[in-house]
Structure 1
Amino acid sequence: MYLIPKPKSYKESKGDFKIRRGMDIIISSNSSFEELDSAILLQKEILESFGFKLSIRKSFKELDSSIVLIRDDSLKDESYKLIVEEEKIKIIGKGGSGVFYGVQTLIQLIRRDGTFLKCLEIFDEPYFKNRGYFHDVTRGKVPKLQTLKELIDKAAFYKINQIQLYIEHSFAFNGMSEVWLNKDPITPEEILLLDSYARKRHVELVPALATFGHLYEVLRTKTYEKLCELENKNTDEFSFFERMAHHTLNVSNEESIELVKNMIEEFITLFTSDRFNICCDETFDLGKGRSKDLASNIEEGRLYVDFLNKVIDIVKKHNKKVLFWGDVIVNHKELLSEIPEDVVCLNWNYSKDATEDSTKVIAESNRELYLCPGVCGWNKLMNLIDNSLENIYKMVSYSKKYKGIGILNTDWGDFGHINLFANSIVGLAYGGSLAWNPSVDREFDKFYEEISLIEFGDKTETLVKLLETLSKCQKVSFEEIVRFKEFNNEIVNTDIDILKEDFKISKLISEEIQDLASEVSSKRDMQEFIISSRGVVLINEFFIKIKQDSSDKKELALKFEEWFYDYMKVWRDRNKESELYRLREVIEYLCSYLRSDN
């Protein structure tokens, strides 16, 4: 069928419709500016695909030799019908969103079939009302506004209707320049512009803000160090591992909740969404430092729930629905009943072997929940595609079984976010596909072919399978590179023969990806794939040479520097400078080591 997501109903018939110069895109008389926006997107796709521009007009009649967009509010929310006849194409949708999704499907048909479209009838509607994508913009990489708009477009194309941008320290909070000065933060104006852009594409921009754990950059400052659970942490040198593992708020200090309140109240006003994700995950240090005396009288779970409820109360006063990560509370299930019933628990698990245990715990508490899989790109130059798809497939199935109200597919950026934008698109699309229609067969190889053609314009339909094969060659990842720098040249414990095999395969795959570049229409994404593949090869080579104590390590230093020079250019194309300098420091350390006598 080659459509992502798969429609609920698809039936082909004899004949075809030819898209040709001189036709019109007609908006029905009862339509609004939402349908006009959809018509403009279709007009743009046809111009880019075929080189001619169709006129847009409004009419009471369904004229032949035209593409007609019709609003029918008797249909279910977000549903549509797409009818291709020999004389015209009709898209009939519930409100602006239904018409919009019908247009996205028509665009995919155009990419699949060209100017001659098969006559067919499609009826389609979503399974999950909440279909989200969670994108880390705080662990090192801050996208440009145009890139965030591109993310919105990608999400909408695959019928994702919620986007969350994860913020710890990368927002320009008023009076907190000490925190964000060297981070190239997202500004309030950028959030306002992005929210408006997203709404026109039927995507809800949901705020997501760290409000309990994961406040490393905030709690290392002179001003806020006193609110850190662990003492004397502002004197340590920067560490990627420390940023991941520590820096929870001290719940025994009343100023902690005041800080959270001030951040929330500045942030919340920028969004039209009626939801707010307070995060509150991985509070690793809770009760182990300044609140230790309090913890000696109150168990850790009670400390967590009491502070969590304070944060929930702040958000609810602004009439927002609260979302939070469920990893802590599932370990204290006896306290679930003390959390307000109207909050949503975000249950995450990123393993391809994910079980349903935690989902069952939350479901039995009668709390609403989203299931949260991942695109599995963090710490990697190339996403673990097969792991991601297997994980998404399982987590969506658990959401069906336990009546979850949504899917929130995640894209994290641990250890500097070296992973590039294009590498996550496959997982994004698959997550959107299953959130819309989970009743599809588990045929990953077929999906690789579909996404290669529809998203990347690869007529050979082989690109994503190459990427998937490359991803399996990462027995060591960028996390091990960071560990080597931060932990006294610690060498990963991986068999040398496995590394050599990974190196050989990754080198061949990298060359194949570069050879395929001329066949792929998405040139920008292709450059990111090429850069990523070269990096996988170099990391494998690095650990082989230091394990074997090779004499030609200085030549590898040159390769790393030349590669990273190209990497920086690709980074800067879609992202602000942000924390690129931190990644450069890691590469410079490797190259210095390779040139030393050791």
Structure 2
Amino acid sequence: MNTRLLTLIPYPQHIKYTDDTRVLTECGVIKAHDFHHVTDDDRHLMLETLMLQLQETLSDSAGLSWSCTPIPLQQPLRQSYDLTEGINHIVLRMDTTITDQGYALHIPPHGEITITASSLSGLRNGIQTLRQLIMMHRNELPCLSINDSPALKTRGLTYDVSRGRVPTLAYLKGLVDTLCLYKYNHLELYIEHTFAFPETHEAWEGKDPLSAEDISELDTYCLARGIELVPALASFGHMYEVLRTSQWNKLGEHPELVTRKFSFIERMIHHTINPTHEESLRFISMLIDEYSSLFRSRQFNIGGDETFDLGTGASAERAKEIGIPRLYAEYVSQLCTHMMENGLSPIVYADIPLKHPELLELLPKGVTLANWDYRIDPSEENVSTVRNSGYTQLVCPGAHTWNRMLPALHDSWSNISTMCSYGRMYEAQGMLMTDWGDYGHINDPVFSLPSFAYAAECSWSGRPVDKATVDSAISALTYHDVSQQSVFLLSSTQGLQSFSWADAVQYLEIEDTNATVNRDVAWVLGYDDAISSVSEARYRFISERLDSIQKYAENNVQLHDIAERFLQTDTGSASSTAVLMIHGQILLNELGFIIASHENLISPSQLERNKSDSSFADAIRSWFHSYSQRWHETSRHSQIDDLAYILHTYCQKLEEGYFA
């Protein structure tokens, strides 16, 4: 058998195969031997869950009725097995000579199928490989021997549950199942304001936050699947919603901004706590103590990234005295010291220390730096710098799904594969994949899964792999697409977004409440103070995007074709969701063309349309109704109304003849 035909994510480091096939019998037994040391409840739960995973996969994918033997907590090592007995057995064994997280899988033509590991984490990894083989080959497995272990020790995901979309607990459990299948061992739910702290109720009321019960239940669910659920809480920057409340706005760098209406763009800028306020450190320490008590993990990600406001407002005087880098270091160091005194290991994002390298001498050495870089050609120098500084490092690529209807999977692959290669080259502790929800989290979570699989592949493998091979495997294993074309089709939508969701948000928000230019949006767009009017700013905005906008008709033809091909893949909700989001992008592309015509950058005669502006507004509303139904399949209501506001504003303008 050609090993390239084996559909596995991540692909094993070492595999030997034959042309033989092992036919699994209808009934058999999954046995756990040599596990007399597994005596605590948590480890026992994990071993039991892994055996049940394998049992369920045999049933669901192969239609087989296998049983699990009771886990022999005190059974001594069994030296030999009868081959006749073993023909119907999958045996899980311990071998202390195998590296931690490593495993050996042996599928012979006859006798026992064995998974051997030195730890439960290694056993889990081997079981996931066997499960994938059963999913793809059902009851006729290829005969092979695999010896496997990961290139990077930590393979994690930071999942945004704050910037618009709070997933249901059921969806989060399904995500954990997927991460387990792909051998992830670390998960962070990124929290800004969407955890129900009693102290911040004003920030989360009406936004469907996660509760303490949700976290505790998910923590146990993760544990049973070999995943460490690590708390992640914005503790310096990105505290927009908390710092807009009447109770806590006094702690912000710019408390005077609390009366401004909600803005997707301002949310990403004005969100920094004032480290010089006497209550700031006490307040954040209290939240960290309260939140960490819900987790088994002793790690804690405090964020610390993108502190744009630092030293520009309430802390300006102190910043002038000691400088912004030292002001940053004082606060973060005090916070980390408090955590370490309470048995927590802090994780801090590395963007500010890399911007101000003197911080690498000022922060506590017990900190782990999470080094994010989402460019398609990320900085090798930054990874090298963190390594040479002596800090433990996690390299952090991105899913390239945020601010978009459809994911940029080519960019995602380039970023992830490069960052993981740097992680291996500079001996990083691991990889922490990131998936954000900027501008309201309009991106559907099902389209983040390919990037998660890319990261699983690239953080595990020690050798180069190609995107096309991984795409085929993702299509089959994640989307259950027998044609293995789903991810190829999804990838082909990149470049067909003439007018993106980010464009739609920025075009609206460039106008402030008093019909003047929003200077924060202008700053994001790189416009200087010479831009004096909203009309001038919007004209420039569309002019800069005109080449892309003018391709809307040909892009929409291609998108229609991709949508039709998706329907032929028969992947259930994944294909219907793809069609829905493609339709949304088609509408955005046409909206961009209408706006360009309004700005007199395109002749109205070039705008070939079969519907009036009012009918087009109806089409947008109809689409959003379907989108809302899809949203609620995976997520709580949370902040979908913020997305609705953007689209409804455009609909009102269309109906009022604003773009005529």
TM-score (norm 2): 0.87
2:29–2:89 contact (8 Å) kept in structure 1: yes
1:460–1:519 contact (8 Å) kept in structure 2: yes
1:27, CA displacement in angstroms?
A: 2.6
1:460-505 C-alpha deviation (Å, 9 max, x unpaired): 1111111011122124321111112222383534555533535533
1:86-144 C-alpha deviation (Å, 9 max, x unpaired): 12422112222222211111121123323211111111111111111110100010011
Q: Tell me if 1:311 matches 2:335.
A: yes
Change in Cα spacing, 1:478 to 1:593, as seen in structure 2 (3 Å) is same
Alignment of 1:101-250 (within 5 A): 101-250=125-274
1:266 maps to which residue?
290
2:552–2:590 contact (8 Å) kept in structure 1: no
1:230, CA displacement in angstroms?
A: 1.2
CA distance in 1, matches of 2:549, 2:489: 19
Alignment of 1:297-376 (within 5 A): 297-376=321-400
Number of aligned residues: 596
Which moves more between the two structures, 293-302 or 482-491? Answer: 482-491
Q: Tell me if 1:35 matches 2:47.
A: yes
Change in Cα spacing, 1:201 to 1:356, as seen in structure 2 (3 Å) is same
CA distance in 1, matches of 2:555, 2:131: 36
2:105 maps to which residue?
82
Give unpaired runs (5+ residues) of structure 1: none
1:4-46 C-alpha deviation (Å, 9 max, x unpaired): 1111101111311112312332332536533332221112122
CA distance in 2, matches of 1:357, 1:502: 39
CA distance in 2, matches of 1:35, 1:305: 43
1:470–1:506 contact (8 Å) kept in structure 2: no
- The secondary structure found in structure 1 opposite 2:190 is strand
1:480 maps to which residue?
503
Alignment of 1:537-556 (within 5 A): 537-549=586-598, 552-556=612-616
CA distance in 2, matches of 1:27, 1:362: 42
2:558 maps to which residue?
508
CA distance in 2, matches of 1:188, 1:464: 36
Which moves more between the two structures, 475-484 or 234-243? Answer: 475-484
Which of these residues, 462, 481, 491, is aligned with residue 458 of structure 1? 481
Structure 2 counterpart of 1:9, one-letter code: H
Structure 1 counterpart of 2:627, one-letter code: Y
| CA RMSD across the alignment | 1.9
Structure 2 counterpart of 1:42, one-letter code: L
Which moves more between the two structures, 532-541 or 281-290? Answer: 532-541
Which of these residues, 579, 593, 599, is aligned with residue 530 of structure 1? 579
1:48 maps to which residue?
60
- The secondary structure found in structure 2 opposite 1:498 is helix
1:231-263 C-alpha deviation (Å, 9 max, x unpaired): 311110111111101121112211111111111
CA distance in 1, matches of 2:552, 2:469: 25
2:298–2:344 contact (8 Å) kept in structure 1: yes
2:193–2:203 contact (8 Å) kept in structure 1: yes
Which of these residues, 619, 622, 647, is aligned with residue 562 of structure 1? 622
CA distance in 2, matches of 1:393, 1:89: 33
Alignment of 1:403-422 (within 5 A): 403-422=427-446
1:517, CA displacement in angstroms?
A: 3.6
Which of these residues, 11, 15, 23, is aligned with residue 10 of structure 1? 15
CA distance in 2, matches of 1:548, 1:48: 54
Which moves more between the two structures, 334-343 or 183-192? Answer: 334-343
Structure 1 counterpart of 2:246, one-letter code: K
1:594 maps to which residue?
654
CA distance in 2, matches of 1:502, 1:459: 32
Larger radius of gyration between Structure 1 and Structure 2: 2
1:515, CA displacement in angstroms?
A: 4.3
CA distance in 1, matches of 2:638, 2:187: 21
1:178, CA displacement in angstroms?
A: 0.8
Q: Tell me if 1:446 matches 2:495.
A: no
2:569–2:575 contact (8 Å) kept in structure 1: no
2:69 maps to which residue?
57
Change in Cα spacing, 1:518 to 1:40, as seen in structure 2 (3 Å) is farther
1:463–1:513 contact (8 Å) kept in structure 2: no
1:343, CA displacement in angstroms?
A: 0.8
1:75, CA displacement in angstroms?
A: 1.8
2:431–2:459 contact (8 Å) kept in structure 1: yes
1:85–1:120 contact (8 Å) kept in structure 2: yes
Change in Cα spacing, 1:296 to 1:512, as seen in structure 2 (3 Å) is closer
2:498–2:551 contact (8 Å) kept in structure 1: no
Q: Tell me if 1:578 matches 2:583.
A: no
Change in Cα spacing, 1:495 to 1:378, as seen in structure 2 (3 Å) is closer
1:201-224 C-alpha deviation (Å, 9 max, x unpaired): 000001111111111111111111
CA distance in 2, matches of 1:16, 1:78: 27
CA distance in 2, matches of 1:379, 1:254: 36
1:354-410 C-alpha deviation (Å, 9 max, x unpaired): 121222222222221111110111101111101011001111121122221111110
Which moves more between the two structures, 497-506 or 556-565? Answer: 497-506
CA distance in 2, matches of 1:582, 1:20: 54
CA distance in 2, matches of 1:506, 1:124: 45
1:345–1:368 contact (8 Å) kept in structure 2: yes
1:536, CA displacement in angstroms?
A: 1.4
1:3–1:105 contact (8 Å) kept in structure 2: yes
Structure 1 counterpart of 2:14, one-letter code: S
Which of these residues, 278, 281, 284, is aligned with residue 254 of structure 1? 278
1:499 maps to which residue?
549
1:520-550 C-alpha deviation (Å, 9 max, x unpaired): 44x2333322222111111111101221345
1:175, CA displacement in angstroms?
A: 2.8
Which of these residues, 569, 575, 584, is aligned with residue 519 of structure 1? 569
- The secondary structure found in structure 1 opposite 2:440 is coil
- The secondary structure found in structure 1 opposite 2:387 is helix
CA distance in 1, matches of 2:385, 2:92: 45
1:288, CA displacement in angstroms?
A: 0.7
1:514, CA displacement in angstroms?
A: 4.6
- The secondary structure found in structure 2 opposite 1:278 is strand
Q: After TM superposition, what 4+ stretches of structure 1 lie above 4 angstroms from structure 2?
A: 494-497
Which moves more between the two structures, 96-105 or 272-281? Answer: 96-105
- The secondary structure found in structure 2 opposite 1:371 is strand
1:284 maps to which residue?
308
1:311-334 C-alpha deviation (Å, 9 max, x unpaired): 112211221111100111112212
1:301-320 C-alpha deviation (Å, 9 max, x unpaired): 11111111111122112211
CA distance in 2, matches of 1:478, 1:402: 37
Which of these residues, 25, 28, 31, is aligned with residue 30 of structure 2? 25
- The secondary structure found in structure 2 opposite 1:254 is coil
2:518 maps to which residue?
none
1:152-176 C-alpha deviation (Å, 9 max, x unpaired): 1111111110001111100000232
Change in Cα spacing, 1:492 to 1:44, as seen in structure 2 (3 Å) is farther
2:91 maps to which residue?
68
Alignment of 1:431-442 (within 5 A): 431-441=455-465
CA distance in 1, matches of 2:632, 2:433: 25
1:50, CA displacement in angstroms?
A: 3.0
2:489–2:566 contact (8 Å) kept in structure 1: no
CA distance in 2, matches of 1:421, 1:352: 21
